[in-house]
Amino acid sequence: MIKSEFLKLSILLLIGGLLACDPDPKLSDKALIPLPEKVQAQDGVFTIDENTKIYIDRSELEDVAQFFSKFINHSTGFNIQVVTEKPEGDYIALGLGLDVPKEGYELDVRPDGISIKGATPEGIFRGFQTLRQLMPSAIEKVGGFEGGAWKVPGVKIEDAPEYGYRGSMLDVARHFFGVEDVKRYIDLMSLYKMNYLHLHLADDQGWRIEIKSWPMLTEIGGSTAVGGGEGGFYTQEDYMEIVEYAQERFITIVPEIDMPGHTNAALASYPELNCNGEAPELYTGTEVGFSTLCTDKEITYQFIDDVVKELVGLTPGPYIHIGGDESHVTPLEDYIPFIEQVQDIVNSYDKKVIGWDEIAHAALRPSATAQYWAKAENAKMAVDQGAKVLISPATRAYLDMQYDSTTQLGLHWAAYIELDSAYLWDPATLEEGIDKGDILGVEAPLWTETISTMEELEYMVFPRLIGIAEIAWTKPALRDWDDYKSRLIKHEERMKALEVNYYSSPLLKQEE
């Protein structure tokens, strides 16, 4: 044997040896978040390689299967195919027909195959996120796997969510975040099985969605931001791109136009929306509660109808959010009929209203939801009217609240919220008189007065959003802070692979 061949053979043997002694992954080393309902370890591992196929027997699963193959191929460099004939070798089978809730699924990993079954493609998609968390963290990186194999530990999982609405809100009005940023946020949300993204599209400091019948809203109202930056807005095409990207990940966009307060950007764009007919200056500060649409002018309702009509044309989801918070300069006797009329406008386009908890002062229409952020008595007034409540307590779920007194970004008017405080609560027992049956779901809002880059955004959101996702998905009896914390510590490796700029809390260091 000549020397170079000997060298080649030695290297091959060495790689072979490394692969052979690449230890099998243990289920106990994996971090499943949100924690599934039933998890049972099974013997053996399944190895994904370039010959693995994704097998579907129903065309409804084509899109979701293509999504998975693209996801796996992207990081592994394999060319895994979706097939509709049962393959010869090992495969990942996706199947429908299971009698579970729409987002429920069963995942079965054995040495000779993986199956994900559910009742809908959405359930299969949620199940895939669990499978993703069972794969090496390197699956989150492009071509980032150094040696070893794509092994998944044997397991049988049965799972379904506690709440049907598991969301986050991004305030793109105080500081604007472009399409690519929102897509990254959607991607990160999807890993934790979240299914609603609420976009706060208009506030005093900026109007961020193109409305063709009222073009000055973006031309003037979209031209700045908190601190006097250049602002920005989504064209309707941009917005549709976000909606479609979210849909592919089974996430529904909820657009919010805040009114009658938080409207300075609109008032600065169109003088006729002001009671005195004069446009105020654009606003780049961070005060709240000083602006109002003129609630007794006909043109105000024409304006709202036009805006809602265009938004509805861009919104396949069921909800339009009408804001309604902190309307401190709108007298209550004007606020109440305004909120009632705006609900009727939204309902006339076959959409349901969500509004911040203050809207419960008005007569709520049967499909309306009040978003509890500040006052439990408002949320209870909504429940007393038979409305549902979306749970977003500022003291627990506001992602712009500082972690502690040393946090540089964010605010603390509601609370300091460390990771344990963000996790250790239950929507159904938080407030007396608001029970599981009254609750639509849970949402964690990020307000952006102090946040202007993705790096800053990720620092405030992660990892608190992950805990909120678990609160919304996992049954309360299965949730435990110590157990969650140890999974989160293991999950840090995946956040690093995703290059998430998360807050490395001292609470995550205790077990090192």
Q: Which is nearer to ligand ACM, 67 or 356 (CB)?
A: 356
Amino acid at 330: T
Question: Is 431 assigned a catalytic role?
Answer: no
Q: Smallest distance, Å, CB 392 to ligand ACM?
A: 8
Q: Smallest distance, Å, CB 357 to ligand ACM?
A: 8
Task: Point out which residues pair with 369 in neighbouring strands.
Answer: 354, 388
335 binds ligand ACM (CB under 6 A): no
Element (H, E) at 158: strand 150-159
Q: Which is nearer to ligand ACM, 326 or 340 (CB)?
A: 326
325 binds ligand ACM (CB under 6 A): yes
326 binds ligand ACM (CB under 6 A): yes
Task: Point out which residues pair with 108 in neighbouring strands.
Answer: 115, 156
Q: Which is nearer to ligand ACM, 163 or 373 (CB)?
A: 373
Nearest Cα to Cα of residue 485 among 425, 424, 430: 424
Q: Which is nearer to ligand ACM, 34 or 445 (CB)?
A: 445
Nearest Cα to Cα of residue 378 among 352, 355, 399: 355
The distance from CA 128 to its chain's CA centroid, rounded to whole angstroms, is 17
Q: Smallest distance, Å, CB 113 to ligand ACM?
A: 48
Give the Cα separation of 414 and 396 in Å (integer): 9
Q: Smallest distance, Å, CB 434 to ligand ACM?
A: 17
Q: Which is nearer to ligand ACM, 159 or 325 (CB)?
A: 325
Q: Which of 37, 241, 272, 326 is an active site residue?
A: 326
List, in order, residues 6 or more apart from 343 with CB less than 8 Å away. 322, 353, 362, 364, 365, 368
The distance from CA 183 to its chain's CA centroid, rounded to whole angstroms, is 10
Between residue 338 and residue 367, which ones bind ligand ACM under the rule CB under 6 A? 356
Tokens of 152: 């998944």
Give the Cα separation of 282 and 79 in Å (integer): 53
SS3 state of residue 76: helix
Q: Which of 105, 176, 303, 373 binds ligand ACM (CB under 6 A)?
A: 373
Between residue 155 and residue 214, which ones bind ligand ACM under the rule CB under 6 A? none
Number of amino acids touching ligand ACM (CB under 6 A): 4
Q: Which is nearer to ligand ACM, 162 or 325 (CB)?
A: 325
Q: Smallest distance, Å, CB 397 to ligand ACM?
A: 11
Q: Which is nearer to ligand ACM, 42 or 395 (CB)?
A: 395
Contacts 24+ apart (CB under 8 A), 66-75: 67/125, 67/248, 68/92, 68/94, 68/128, 71/132, 71/139, 72/48, 72/139, 74/142, 75/138, 75/139, 75/140, 75/141, 75/142, 75/143, 75/144, 75/145
Helix axis angle, 464-473 relative to 481-497, nearest 10°?
120
Q: Sign of the CA dihedral 371, 373, 378, 383?
A: positive
What residue ranges bind ligand ACM (CB under 6 A)? Answer: 325-326, 356, 373
Q: Which residues are catalytic?
A: 326
